[in-house]
């Protein structure tokens, strides 16, 4: 397969997921630390089958990784905000690469509508948030404008069982 323009290898076409694959995804989505044995028992397959399916889901890029869900406030990041960005046309990849390096950047999305990019950040306090927006973001040449939406309270729906 030929490399994409950004130098990465293209992903293979997705294989269809059956009911067992979807059940495995739901279990791991709820509890990324679930053991192979536990997953196998809950979906009624052998451990070897569960292990092979999970590895296939990882290799196919369906499962992108495993991680902890963090309470940002308790972790010392008490200021959260969604920041919308308008960017120069056709600069998404450049902007995305720069946004990935920002401290506290948690989620980046290219979107349609009145703005181009939606960025979720978590910072220690509003002073750090101000620095991030006024110094770091607005110094990116491809960023035309920003709008900051402070998060007063949030619920992580992924933690709901």
- Per residue in 144-155, pLDDT tens? 999 999 999 887
Higher pLDDT, 10 or 94: 94
- Per residue in 33-67, pLDDT tens? 999 999 999 999 999 999 999 999 999 999 998 88
* Residue range 6-26: mean pLDDT, rounded: 82
- The Cα–Cα gap between 89 and 127 comes to 31
DSSP 72: T
pLDDT tier, 1 (very low <50, low <70, confident <90, very high otherwise):
very low
- The Cα–Cα gap between 51 and 31 comes to 16
The sign of the CA dihedral 22, 24, 28, 31 is positive
* Residue range 3-11: mean pLDDT, rounded: 61
Let me know: does 119 contact 99? Beta carbons within 8 Å: yes
> Percentage of the chain surpassing pLDDT 90?
73
* Burial class of residue 116 (count of CB atoms within 10 Å of its CB; 0-12, 13-18, 19+): buried
pLDDT (0 to 100) of residue 156: 74
pLDDT (0 to 100) of residue 82: 97
pLDDT tier, 11 (very low <50, low <70, confident <90, very high otherwise):
low
Look at residues 87, 160, 72 and name the one whose alpha carbon lies nearest to residue 124: 72
Rounded to the nearest integer, the mean pLDDT of the chain is 90
DSSP 63: S
């Amino acid at each position: 397969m030929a490399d994409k323009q950004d130098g990465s290898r293209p992903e293979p076409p997705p294989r269809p997921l059956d009911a067992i694959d979807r059940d495995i995804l739901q279990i791991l989505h709820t509890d990324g630390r679930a053991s192979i044995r536990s997953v196998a028992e809950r979906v009624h397959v052998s451990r070897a089958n569960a292990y092979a399916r999970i590895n296939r889901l990882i290799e196919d890029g369906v499962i992108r990784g495993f991680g902890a869900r963090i309470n940002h406030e308790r972790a010392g990041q008490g200021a959260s905000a969604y920041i919308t960005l308008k960017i120069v046309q056709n600069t998404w990849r450049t902007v995305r690469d720069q946004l990935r390096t920002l401290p506290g950047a948690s989620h980046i999305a290219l979107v349609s509508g009145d703005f181009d990019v939606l960025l979720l950040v978590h910072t220690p306090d509003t002073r750090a948030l101000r620095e991030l927006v006024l110094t770091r973001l607005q110094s990116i040449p491809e960023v035309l404008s920003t709008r900051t939406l402070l998060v007063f309270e949030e619920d992580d729906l992924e933690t709901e069982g």
